[in-house]
Homo-oligomer: A and B are copies of this chain.
Amino acid sequence: MSKQYALGIDYGTNSCRSLLIDLSNGHEVGSTVFNYPSGELGIILDPRDPHVARQNPQDYLDGLIAVTTGALSQAKANVADFDAAQVIGIGIDTTGSTVIPVNKAGVPLGLLSEFKSHLNAMVWLWKDHTAHEEAAEITKLGTQLRPEIMAKCGGIYSSEWWWSKILRLRRIDPATFKAAYSFVEHCDWIPAVLSGNTDPLTLKRSVCAAGHKAMFNTQWGGLPDKEFLGKLDPALADLRDRLYSEAHVADTKAGDLCAEWAKKLGLKEGIAIAVGAFDAHMGAVGAGAKEGTLVKILGTSTCDLMVAPNDKPLTDIPGVCGIVDGSVMGGYFGIEAGQSAVGDIFLWFVNHLVPDSYGKSVGEKFENMGKAMSAQAPGATGLLALDWNNGNRTILVDHRLTGLLIGQTLHTEAHEIYRAYIEATAFGALTIIKRIEEYGVPVLEVINTGGLSIKNETLMQIYADVTGRTMKVSQSEQTCALGAAIFGAVVAGAGSVADIQTKVTATREKVYHPIPENQAVYAELYQLYHTLHDAFGTATWSGHVNHVMKRLLDIRERQR
């Protein structure tokens, strides 16, 4: 039998990337990156408002051609008998909620000449925070009128999400809002383009995007009801009819590759296109997500994903970002949690508070701090931090929290604080695991992916010691694109998600086992972290904290 390949396209914040894999063994035969040319690193900014972050939809189309043809060329060079006709399916993942206003034909307003250079007609990137007032308004109204809906998104509706952005557009630019017949998520639009059907009323929408960002749930009949939307703005109630009543798992076919795009990409017409999903969710699949496995995507922030079978009911897990049936794979609830800042805390620290005695560049500083702190025993710094410099996503769901560092003396050094911050993020990770398990979803395996999991061995060991679990690391460095390719293969009929995962995903040989004596110290430190976490993060806590500094000193003295 001839070789079969699947293509995954991963749309990131500043660039997109292709990954072409051999479905028999997961070999990565081609992969190209395309940096979005518009704006600054692909993001169109507004010098008058730092919250603005828009994108040019043309970049997505240009990138699609560039990374696909690039991957095919590489495959031809890498594999002797490679034939583009052996590519059987395509999957797509994107950032989100990345919202595109479209006309009746499903063409992004930003591609139309009359809206050229009109900022509000462009794509509203996930990190656009202009809609913070609208988000607060939705949260307030939702809490009053639809607590069951708010419960599913952790109690707070974000300025990064679907309805906030659409309501914002309606408020600040009614003309552009009116010109938009409908709105699509970035991950809905690319599969629609490839399959040649961009009709907003019939293109297949992603349940991952719909469920996590647009409050879509079959429990209450899809999108939020007209009464609720109408109280936000009558125009939103009207819009509801021009959106969707169904949303699909990524193992559903969005369509077949149309002639026009088959030609543009150099692929066979009619191959299967999977429904899109968000990067983290497909990344989880690429990392090997299955029942009992927690996938941790360690980046500037983290995304923690698990799946739980949807044939038995799953209670809401308080403080967990979202539970959406099918958002990761069919037949399972996708459970999404996360930490608002992990790598970002280390980057902030190295950029703002590390003297040049550790090195000239950020890389050198990290390396030398890493060496110095990896030689220290747990608890030897005497420090403890809360990992809240960017708020707390899970389990407190409170962006109005800030950092805390305790235990400094006149001898505390930068690399010790760096270690304390790594430990703080590990304590945050443990808090998430505990919460998920408390609500009946056991975490039997942890697979990590993302830059930190590959580059930072001390961090991984600390995570193992703090959580008391073996830390595995995904083999692929492109788990998002790999996950997308897996869905491309699934919708082409190559097998189930699990079948294909078995062939193409793996973890690295190097694993991090918890070291019992470190675990014991971290168990003590976690008690202190937990006290500070509840004291500063919850309204219900009341008690004493005067033991914290003294216990830290005791542990430090013992560990030095």
Contacts and interface: CB of A to CB of B under 8 A. Distances in A.
Interface of A: 341, 344-345, 348, 351-356, 382, 388-390, 400-414, 417, 535-539, 541-546, 548-550, 552-553
B403 A389 contact: no
A406 B409 contact: no
Copies, count: 2
A400 B543 contact: no
Given A345-B410, A348-B412, A405 B402 contact: no
A539 B545 contact: no
Contacts of A348: 410-412
Q: 5 closest Cβ contacts across the A-B interface?
A: A403-B408, A356-B356, A348-B410, A404-B406, A402-B407
Nearest to A356: B356
A402 B406 contact: yes
A546 B537 contact: yes
A400 B553 contact: yes
Given A341-B410, A389-B409, A545 B536 contact: yes
A539 B341 CA distance: 33
A404 to B, nearest CB: 5
Nearest to A391: B409
Contacts of A413: 352
A428 B344 CA distance: 33
Given A543-B542, A545-B535, A404 B402 contact: no
B410 A404 contact: no
Nearest to A552: B402
Nearest to A411: B348
Nearest to A345: B410
A177 B312 CA distance: 80
Given A352-B413, A353-B355, A355-B355, A407 B403 contact: yes
A232 to B, nearest CB: 25
Contacts of A408: 389, 402-405
A383 to B, nearest CB: 9
**Residue of A352, A406, A544, A548 ringed by the most chain B CB atoms within 10 A:** A352
A387 B345 CA distance: 24
Contacts of A390: 409-410
Nearest to A532: B545
Contact of A402 (B341, B382, B402): B382
A403 B414 contact: no
**Residue of A348, A403, A407, A411 ringed by the most chain B CB atoms within 10 A:** A403
A130 B550 CA distance: 21
A559 to B, nearest CB: 15
B404 A404 contact: yes
Contact of A354 (B355, B400, B411, B552): B355
Nearest to A404: B406
A549 B401 contact: yes
B539 A546 contact: yes
A385 to B, nearest CB: 9
A400 B549 contact: yes
A244 B404 CA distance: 51
**Residue of A356, A410, A552 ringed by the most chain B CB atoms within 10 A:** A410
Contacts of A407: 402-404
Contacts of A543: 542
Contact of A412 (B341, B352, B548, B553): B352
A368 B412 CA distance: 23
A401 B407 CA distance: 8
A400 B554 CA distance: 10
Contact of A355 (B352, B382, B405): B352
B544 A402 contact: no
Contacts of A414: 352-353
A538 B546 contact: yes
Given A389-B409, A403-B407, A410-B341, A539 B544 contact: yes
A542 B344 CA distance: 34
Given A389-B410, A401-B549, 20 more contacts: A341-B410, A351-B355, A352-B412, A352-B414, A354-B355, A389-B408, A389-B409, A389-B412, A390-B410, A400-B549, A400-B553, A402-B406, A403-B409, A404-B407, A405-B405, A535-B544, A535-B546, A536-B545, A542-B542, A545-B545
**Residue of A388, A536, A541 ringed by the most chain B CB atoms within 10 A:** A536
Nearest to A405: B405
Nearest to A547: B539
Contacts of A403: 405-409, 412
B546 A544 contact: no
B553 A546 contact: no
Contacts of A409: 389-390, 402-403
Nearest to A386: B406
A354 B414 CA distance: 9
A412 B417 CA distance: 15
Contacts of A404: 404-408, 549
Contact of A544 (B401, B542, B548, B549): B542
Contacts of A388: 549
